[in-house]
């Protein structure tokens, strides 16, 4: 237990130390590359803004991810249980996912002018639902047919087969995709926050630092985003251990 906590902390300290060493060795000023030692003053100076903007970014990201789970799971179930639906929807999903989401930001902004919260949540959803849909679809489509045949022979309904066999089998793939989607959702949120002229959140704070040439603030925002991403990632791991802990295999 101690090693699971100490190992990532040590890794982070080593990373920060190497970052500091790199800046020092090259003699870079903080307007070219901020060092870790430049960040605490920036956090303290803008502490109230970090709390307010961080919360704005976090709740929008979580809402977008929640919608991605609902819609992605529904699509995954459709393509997982129906070959026709799989053949029809896969090209559309792949084509949509191939579109750079940054190009959709101005389109969404024009469609929903002034709806900043909605636009941000929508982008977080759009960029994060694809891995969930694909993982659930693959998990269900690769369900061993002999299990279904045995349960059907015993009189089990499709709902029983889903809850007893299909759902537990899909959970490891689902949580694996959810870990990826949790970090992708932050990308979607910040795309809108940075581009929107009336944006709020850490993306808007990053843009403010860029406009004012405050590079320590910009790098502090990046660290804050990384911290929120790590928090959300471990929240997913916590849920995974509750609902799919049986699938975990400890490495020797």
Judge residue 16's burial from the number of C-beta atoms within 10 Å of its C-beta, 0-12 exposed, 13-18 middle, 19 or more buried.
Answer: middle
- What's the CA dihedral at 53, 59, 60, 66 to 10 degrees? 160
Who's near 178: CB < 8 A, 6+ residues apart? 69, 131, 132, 236, 240
Q: Which two tokens stand for residue 8?
A: 């990532």
Each residue's pLDDT, cut to its tens digit, for the chain (252 residues) gives 666 778 888 998 999 999 999 999 998 888 888 899 999 999 999 999 999 999 999 999 999 999 999 999 999 888 888 889 889 998 999 999 898 888 888 888 888 877 888 999 999 999 999 999 998 888 877 776 666 666 677 676 666 777 777 778 788 888 999 999 999 999 999 989 888 766 689 999 999 998 888 899 999 999 999 999 999 999 999 999 888 776 665 554
Residue 1 has what pLDDT?
61
Residue 51 has what pLDDT?
94
Task: Please give the model's pTM, rounded to 2 decimal places.
Answer: 0.87
Question: Distance between CA atoms of 144 and 142, rounded to whole angstroms?
Answer: 6
Residue 72 has what pLDDT?
93
Helix, strand or coil, per DSSP, at residue 152: helix
- What's the CA dihedral at 165, 168, 172, 173 to 10 degrees? 50
Residue 158 has what pLDDT?
65
Residue 197 has what pLDDT?
64
Q: How many CA atoms lie within 13 A of 30 on its CB side?
A: 17
Q: For every residue of 194-235, which 3-state class applies, written as one string?
A: HHCCCCCCHHHHHHHHHHCCCHHHHHHHHHHHHHHHHHHHHH
Kind plus residue range of the DSSP H or E element containing 129: helix 116-141
Residue 70 has what pLDDT?
95
């Amino acid at each position: 237990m101690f090693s699971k906590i100490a190992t990532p902390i040590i890794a982070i300290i080593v990373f920060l130390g190497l970052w500091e060493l790199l800046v020092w060795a090259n003699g870079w000023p903080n307007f070219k590359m901020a060092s870790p030692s430049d960040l605490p003053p920036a956090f303290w100076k803008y502490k109230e803004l970090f709390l307010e903007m961080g919360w704005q970014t976090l709740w929008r990201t979580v809402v977008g991810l929640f919608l991605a789970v609902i819609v992605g799971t529904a699509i995954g179930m459709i393509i997982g249980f129906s070959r026709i639906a799989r053949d029809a929807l896969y090209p559309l999903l792949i084509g949509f996912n191939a579109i750079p989401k940054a190009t959709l930001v101005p389109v969404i902004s024009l469609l929903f002018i002034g709806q900043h919260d909605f636009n941000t949540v929508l982008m977080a959803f759009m960029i994060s639902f694809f891995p969930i849909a694909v993982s659930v679809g693959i998990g269900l489509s690769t369900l061993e047919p002999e299990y279904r045949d045995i349960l059907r022979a015993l009189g089990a309904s499709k709902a029983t087969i889903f809850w007893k066999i299909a759902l537990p089998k899909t959970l490891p793939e689902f949580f694996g995709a959810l870990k990826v989607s949790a970090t992708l959702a932050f990308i979607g949120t910040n795309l809108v926050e940075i581009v929107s002229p009336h944006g709020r959140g850490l993306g808007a704070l990053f843009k403010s630092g860029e406009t004012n040439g405050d590079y320590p603030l910009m790098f502090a925002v990046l660290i804050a985003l990384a911290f929120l991403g790590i928090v959300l990632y471990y929240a997913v791991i916590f849920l995974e251990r509750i609902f799919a802990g049986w699938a975990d295999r400890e490495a020797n």
